[in-house]
Structure 1
Amino acid sequence: MDETASRLGEAWTPPVYDCSSAPTMVWKCTVPQHETVPYNFARNAKWCSDGSAVLFQCEDRTFYIPEIPARYCSSDTSPTQSTLTSARVFQQQSPILDYTWYPSASRNNPAAFCFVASVRECPVKLLDASDGRLRASYGIVDHRERQIAPHSIAFNATADRFYCGFEDAIEVFDVQRPGEGTRLHTTPSKKSKDGLKGIISALAFSADAGSGVYAAGSLSPASSSSSNIALFSEATGEAPIMFVGADSFSHGASPGIRSSVMQLMFNPTRPYLLYASFRRHESIYAWDLRGNASNPVYCFDRDAIPSSAATTPSISPTITNQKLRFDIDITGSVLGLGDQLGNVALFDAAPAGSDIDDLHLVSEACAARRLPKLKYTAHEDAIGSVSFHPLRPLLLSVSGSRHFDGSTSATSNEASSSSSDSESGVEDNGEAKGDGSSNQNVRVVRIRWRGPQPIAHDASAKLWNFDSRVVGGRSTTGTAL
């Protein structure tokens, strides 16, 4: 077979992540900074279906699509193509709560290159990812006729509908029919103790399209009488299939996890494994839904091993309230997550062996605690999100958080004082009194006070290459197991 035929016969192979040593940093950028929001940083980052573009959710109420070299995100590996397009910024009216790509979004398909976004006090928007224009809107209205913005959004496996989670309900929209959707109540009433109560903060669909199963998590912490993670089916509607983390309402939820659900995710190749992260909780938990789902089978601990001693403080700070999102690669074999110290850890998402089937756990403390295969220092601030490239052994990490340092308050007060001085002055009231006296000058002082403004220590995004065939020096240090 000649070389041309060999190239034509090449088939795509799933990415393999080399975790024997720290990866190579191949690209880096900083999110745009503005005078109005000097502490701007990316909270979340998600690749589209073919990895041709990545979308950032930024602190300054914008969506940002950075300019990444085509050799890292395009299916065309020709060295003549340097970049795909220029960076784009899409400004929103209010803070962004959540967003998700259309499942088949790609730069190569303009019709499908779009995403759904939830913006506070606005209808759900279907936005074009090439220019930010509004394609369609989907309204969620409460009993007082106010627009409700969902806290979580997820497309179903067939991509014809998307689900939006808000307080005590899930709204279902047909993508082809903008306007109103169908409401599914997760609890019978406000006073009822049954069902899934609170704001639905996380939604995730199983990769098994035929099952139509999806998981929903609530911001209300689990109690002794209820669980805050439930499984639903598109076929059954409002009635939950089962609750995860609780034997039954009479027996109560499993001990140890009493926190708000931040993220849910099914394993892409093992749809019976469900992963969850919780607010102010350092671990990621996994449940095997084929059997008893009252207790997790795996616990992925961010602090299982220390990172570089030169970069890790001796005393760990208070656990952050910030969402720190994890991700699983397309093969379902590697789980990646970041922490508030700027470290990235990689785990075996589904360790080899049949130990899952043999586990008979009685409490959360008995879950098999997994050690990371690799942990390395990636940023100098909290890592809000890690995202695996869908087709290549690449990992994107974004960092940033709001810090109120002592110097910030002083700077802000000085700026406020100078602003007040600049506004102070003598003005003529321009009016003559009726008794014929001359105009009097009136001193007007306008004071504009601004409180302490936060800063971001590291508002960067970095792309890491885990391909073992890459030749070149390593950009950071890491610990491999």
Structure 2
Amino acid sequence: MEAEEQYLERGEPVDAGVLSGEQVEVPAEGQHTAAGWYTAFVFPCQPQPLYRATQEYASSSAACPNTNFLKGLKWSPDGACLLTASDDNWLRLYDLPQDVATAAVLQHPDTLPPEEQAEAAEAAAGASTSGSSCSAAGGAGPDNLAPALRMHAGETVYDYCWYSRMSALDPVSCCLASTARGHPIQLWDACSGEPRATYRGYNDADEPTAAYSMAFSPDGGRLLGGYNRSIYVFDVTRPGRDYKRIVTHKRKNPESITGIVSCMAWSPAGDVFAAGTYTGGLGVYDGRTYELLLLLSGTKGGLTQLLFSADGNYLYTGARQDPHMLCWDVRHTYAALYSMERPTAHTNQRVQFDIEPAGRHLLTGGCDGAVLVYDLSSGQLVDRRQVAADTVNGVGFHPTLGLLATASGERGHNVLGHVRAA
């Protein structure tokens, strides 16, 4: 059987594909989906792209003088939409295509075996110069995925996330948040693309300051904002500058995490949350009292992503300038259980990872254009697939279907201001 998988391919294209592999249905423990089931993948699998969008990220603008590229992606909680951010300071929302179950497989050179990539690229170039369109067998083919909404963040996007209770069946819940340089946290309407509200943080000098990271609580009632040596807790129903401040670092206090809070994550139950900093500090906090419960150390680079397992017992971390992703048992250990390697030792980009809904595998990008799949029961690498020509910085499993989206790209120098070519 085939398990469908979707790709947002490279900073230049946005592609989607299908994983050719076994697909088994298992009960969704702790999850409440429409059918009560979800897809579990059996790796290794061969990716087969379904959708792509290239030209959307190839436009030149003053905000992006060199090259434009994607900066990650995130599925909505109900799986109806896909959200991306890019270096041109725009957020783009893609609706899940209605024909996803019957979509034709695209042939993209980056997903072919290495020995076939050069031949496919030459065939695509020949078709382009002769004026003919690329066929599914000979080249990348035309874009077949267009954004439903575009939202301009104004400045460099630091972070973005979906409202945790978002459902396409309830328009009031259809919203997302973003934070950008020099701007307050902005709440956007995911149906119209218009701003709904702002949440403003201020520093010790009573000057407005931007959040570097965000995380909605699982119940949707609170929004955490990560600032320099502080976490601000906003009541979602009360926009403005009303917030509770949690000081994450105090002088002469070793029991704290120093630096800018660069990433945060709630446990599925909402009883605790984790916060990481660009200095490598990592702490686990009580979700009710906001007290520091656990201080973890061992990461070498600045933390860029945290993710809890479905049962909330394990925490997975990834960092920039660090080739190791770590697994922590937050119940009774101060040391990492094991590490998983990826090619991110020499990049400052946020390189995303995600855990499949079945909870068995973790998939991550890297700077070599490949996606790596690890078995979380052992921490062993079980699959590696080439999907792009440069950094794969975004990956995301669909919450209920067998789809996976990937985004890739990196900053380059192109006088035309287009996305880097393969």
> Structure 2 length as normaliser, TM-score?
0.76
User: Take 1:259 and 1:153, find their aligned partners in 2: how far apart are those partners?
Assistant: 20
Counterpart pick for 1:64 among 66, 78, 92: 92
User: Take 1:395 and 1:402, find their aligned partners in 2: how far apart are those partners?
Assistant: 24
Does 2:20 correspond to 1:20? no
- Cα pair 2:67 2:418 within 8 Å, conserved: yes
- Cα pair 2:372 2:384 within 8 Å, conserved: yes
SS at structure 2 position matched to 1:372: strand
Deviations 1:384-412 (A, max 9, x none): 110000011111100100124xxx5xx58
Matches within 5 A, 1:244-323: 244-245=296-297, 254=298, 257-268=299-310, 270-292=311-333, 294-302=334-342, 319-323=346-350
User: Take 2:418 and 2:207, find their aligned partners in 1: how far apart are those partners?
Assistant: 31
User: Take 1:137 and 1:20, find their aligned partners in 2: how far apart are those partners?
Assistant: 44
User: Take 2:218 and 2:377, find their aligned partners in 1: how far apart are those partners?
Assistant: 22
Does 2:250 correspond to 1:188? yes
Structure 2 letter corresponding to 1:262: T
- Cα pair 1:329 1:388 within 8 Å, conserved: yes
- Cα pair 2:69 2:419 within 8 Å, conserved: no
Residue in structure 1 matched with residue 82 of structure 2 by the alignment = 54
- Cα pair 2:302 2:320 within 8 Å, conserved: yes
Structure 2 letter corresponding to 1:301: E
User: Take 2:96 and 2:412, find their aligned partners in 1: how far apart are those partners?
Assistant: 28
User: Take 2:39 and 2:274, find their aligned partners in 1: how far apart are those partners?
Assistant: 27
Matches within 5 A, 1:76-475: 87-179=148-240, 180-189=242-251, 192-209=253-270, 212-221=271-280, 228-237=281-290, 239-245=291-297, 254=298, 257-268=299-310, 270-292=311-333, 294-302=334-342, 319-351=346-378, 370-404=379-413, 408=414, 456-457=420-421
- Cα pair 1:70 1:84 within 8 Å, conserved: no
Cα 1:169–1:64 change in 2 (3 A) is same
User: Take 1:84 and 1:114, find their aligned partners in 2: how far apart are those partners?
Assistant: 21
User: Take 1:69 and 1:288, find their aligned partners in 2: how far apart are those partners?
Assistant: 38
| Alignment gaps of 5+ in structure 2 | 1-33, 104-143
Residue in structure 1 matched with residue 58 of structure 2 by the alignment = 33
For these two proteins, the number of residue pairs brought into alignment is 344
Per-residue deviation, 1:299: 1.2
Per-residue deviation, 1:172: 0.2
- Structural RMSD (CA): 2.4
Cα 1:457–1:144 change in 2 (3 A) is farther
Per-residue deviation, 1:455: 5.5
- Cα pair 2:165 2:218 within 8 Å, conserved: no
Deviations 1:19-58 (A, max 9, x none): 2331221221223332213622210100001111000011
Report the structure number with the largest CA radius of gyration: 1
SS at structure 2 position matched to 1:28: coil
- Cα pair 1:266 1:273 within 8 Å, conserved: yes
| Alignment gaps of 5+ in structure 1 | 1-9, 222-227, 246-253, 304-316, 352-369, 413-452, 459-481
User: Take 1:347 and 1:25, find their aligned partners in 2: how far apart are those partners?
Assistant: 21
Per-residue deviation, 1:341: 1.1
SS at structure 1 position matched to 2:226: strand
Greater fraction strand: 2
- Greater relative CO (CA pairs within 8 A, separation 6+): 2
Cα 1:123–1:107 change in 2 (3 A) is same
- Cα pair 1:53 1:65 within 8 Å, conserved: yes
User: Take 1:259 and 1:27, find their aligned partners in 2: how far apart are those partners?
Assistant: 34
- Cα pair 2:300 2:322 within 8 Å, conserved: no
User: Take 1:33 and 1:85, find their aligned partners in 2: how far apart are those partners?
Assistant: 13
- Cα pair 2:80 2:96 within 8 Å, conserved: no
Percent of aligned pairs with the same amino acid:
26
> Structure 1 length as normaliser, TM-score?
0.67
Per-residue deviation, 1:12: 4.0
- Cα pair 1:403 1:457 within 8 Å, conserved: no
